[in-house]
Structure 1
């Protein structure tokens, strides 16, 4: 399978969908797929609907890191469970998803970096994660032949990686075999609401009656919810990734400093990305949500580049419809797969920086480059919550660039929320009301 998945990728699950279900899951990214999987395993009649392709958006465009390191302390227990679940799921498919335990390493170029890493370390200890601080000498031994000397690093040996454009479709296969009905190329235009609560969904193919709906729509979630009077301060930022041609092995795990992040891929090349850099297309939602993001902007004023307007059809583009009827073609059908162009200048910079960091490997050829839209929240942690305004609706969105790795853990949490089962984790940090009830903004850790 080529990377990333796009609208040109073949449809694997054409449908049609049934007329009735116990639960409808909206969104075929890693969160939606895993939610459907665990609902099916619980004996629930579940239908998962994707407007384009399973993993067509950020779920096949991310770095492929499965990391516990640097997580918000409230996310970390879910991520520790996800780490275990990934191993279990990889063993349940005959597809090689590229799951490798290579560790994750954050390099320190300053004393401030080391201080931030040390401040986070007690979270790892509390969760039983094997993170530790490396000395400058240990960094040189772990990742040899770098042209730059680092003061130290934060390192988590048990962290993993996988090939997302292979892994998420493989998880969809497991969900299907467990009994979930998966349908691609089928947009949900809106919720069907009766007597103030969910009674199903209206799709481009017709209605599905269901008493429960899970929205895992990624970058499209805010647009979908706004139509139903639920306002969520979610924005989407563009992140660019480049894939190199095959290169000599440098290091088996994921590595990042403040300029570049890299990790080996199964094809012998490396995935490169800019550490801590993303781009926001300014649109109506950006203006509405700005007050909620002031704390984040003050903490990292140079981490976001602002662009004047999103391309036509993007969720927060100025011309994207905010209101439509159930028998209208929705914005979700108008753009089946959100496929932003990569930042060409950033790709060239990544190529140059990687070559300068490892001059002994010779010329760095770029095989491909792509971008994805990361759904993010003001405090850099997701919304995972039952919607009090609309009984029967559960939302899991705003994973803030953490979704691929934590996907199985969050999918299991969402399935438990819907069925009333034991969630096993404290979700108070992820409630939607935190943005409206006067709670102080508490940013996730900037590591």
Structure 2
């Protein structure tokens, strides 16, 4: 279904075409439409069908890489603005995010982050053991402290992005799902149109916000980026006692209080890295992160070695991988989730008796430095790439979209863009 209750007539021209119906693509269309700029968003499957509805639902400044922290601070503000306009309950709320420290090493990590980000207005503080117990409504002194950010927020991913898409449509954006973009066309070196499976749309600008599919799309038009996909596994529980209203992060299990009274639970930094041809081409770039997290990363020869995210080429009149796989729905790692659930109960004994209600997997678009690309590639004026959000996309998505719109309009960017440039690779 479309984000609205109808499918619009297929447009033949517009000012900007956005490729991808995740949070970055939808927010980009929303911001453009609010400013009266004609925009068409094309989504190959359904709005927020992949990682934008499968993430943890955290909107956090806490623990962010300093290179994207100011953008996240701006994004947190935008979340509040967007929520006030939607007219729908997306489970959004400023409820606080806490990172627990059970060991001296974990506590030192939080102290170092606070020191390194001292100049930013993130609002994070370090709690004492007593303050941590008070926050968790317990008194057993199981933790040495915690990094606490009272101003951090949470929301329901499955509700938020579709609601944003409906609002974008009310503002004038045209959103078409089940419509894969096959290629971008140029005339005299300038963007002139996109070719979709349903026809051609003339345009002056294109925004690629394709998540894990971005590298595949770009390779087909001769642009290379070192982006790979890792699989994350997540679960939700049945209704449970409230531990905190927001989120609690810990090494063995992180959780978020859900709108339905349960918890979303996952294990931080644990993911499955699938070997496909692109993994070998970009292996050197990813070696530092793989080395750092080798104990937490499963490396597998994926069954889709030559599948949709593999090395493929097609012409504008041919069926693409985006049409072959409308929604990527990887199987979750049940063993990992069972372990994370057991760890969550051990960390928070009040979860005793709570059951796993559902599990799912998702693919995260990752860059070697875990910082996104927000840039216009050389020799492709008018094509703006916004991808590689590396598992941070739900929170930072509105900020990324705002930066994209500022680039399109030639406005002064709200934050420095040098750390998001393609040239850093």
TM-score interval for Structure 1 and Structure 2 normalised by the shorter chain: over 0.9
* Alpha-carbon separation, structure 1, partners of 2:81 and 2:66: 24
Equivalent residue number for residue 230 of structure 1: 223
- Offset at residue 11 of structure 1 (A): 7.9
Please say if 1:341 is aligned against 2:331. Answer: yes
The 8 Å contact of residues 106 and 257 in structure 1, kept in 2 or not, is answered as yes
Equivalent residue number for residue 405 of structure 1: 395
Equivalent residue number for residue 170 of structure 1: 163
The 8 Å contact of residues 130 and 141 in structure 2, kept in 1 or not, is answered as no
Equivalent residue number for residue 134 of structure 1: 127
The 8 Å contact of residues 124 and 131 in structure 1, kept in 2 or not, is answered as no
The 8 Å contact of residues 253 and 341 in structure 2, kept in 1 or not, is answered as no
Matched positions, count: 425
The 8 Å contact of residues 14 and 185 in structure 1, kept in 2 or not, is answered as no
Equivalent residue number for residue 441 of structure 1: none
- Match for residue 67 of structure 2 among 49, 66, 74: 74
The RMSD of aligned alpha carbons is: 1.8
Superposed CA offset, 1:178-218 (max 9, x none): 11111100000111122233211000001001111000000
Please say if 1:330 is aligned against 2:320. Answer: yes
Could you state the TM-score of these two structures normalised by the residue count of structure 2? 0.96
* Alpha-carbon separation, structure 2, partners of 1:34 and 1:310: 34
Matches within 5 A, 1:73-92: 73-92=66-85
* Moved segments of 4+, more than 6 Å: 8-11
The 8 Å contact of residues 264 and 271 in structure 1, kept in 2 or not, is answered as yes
The 8 Å contact of residues 308 and 325 in structure 2, kept in 1 or not, is answered as no
Mean Cα deviation higher: 304-313 or 169-178:
304-313
Matches within 5 A, 1:38-437: 38-145=31-138, 149-311=142-304, 315-317=308-310, 322-435=312-425
Look up the SS of the partner of 2:99 in the other structure.
strand
| Runs of 5+ consecutive residues of structure 1 not aligned to the other structure | 1-7, 436-447
The 8 Å contact of residues 230 and 274 in structure 2, kept in 1 or not, is answered as yes
* Alpha-carbon separation, structure 1, partners of 2:60 and 2:259: 18
Equivalent residue number for residue 440 of structure 1: none
* Alpha-carbon separation, structure 2, partners of 1:13 and 1:125: 49
- Offset at residue 240 of structure 1 (A): 0.6
Superposed CA offset, 1:5-49 (max 9, x none): xxx999855334310011100000000000111111222111010
The 8 Å contact of residues 340 and 373 in structure 1, kept in 2 or not, is answered as yes
Judged with a 3 Å threshold, the aligned counterparts in structure 2 of structure 1 residues 15 and 148 are, in CA distance, closer, same or farther, namely: farther
Judged with a 3 Å threshold, the aligned counterparts in structure 2 of structure 1 residues 87 and 420 are, in CA distance, closer, same or farther, namely: same
The 8 Å contact of residues 221 and 397 in structure 1, kept in 2 or not, is answered as yes
- Offset at residue 314 of structure 1 (A): 5.1
The 8 Å contact of residues 313 and 331 in structure 1, kept in 2 or not, is answered as no
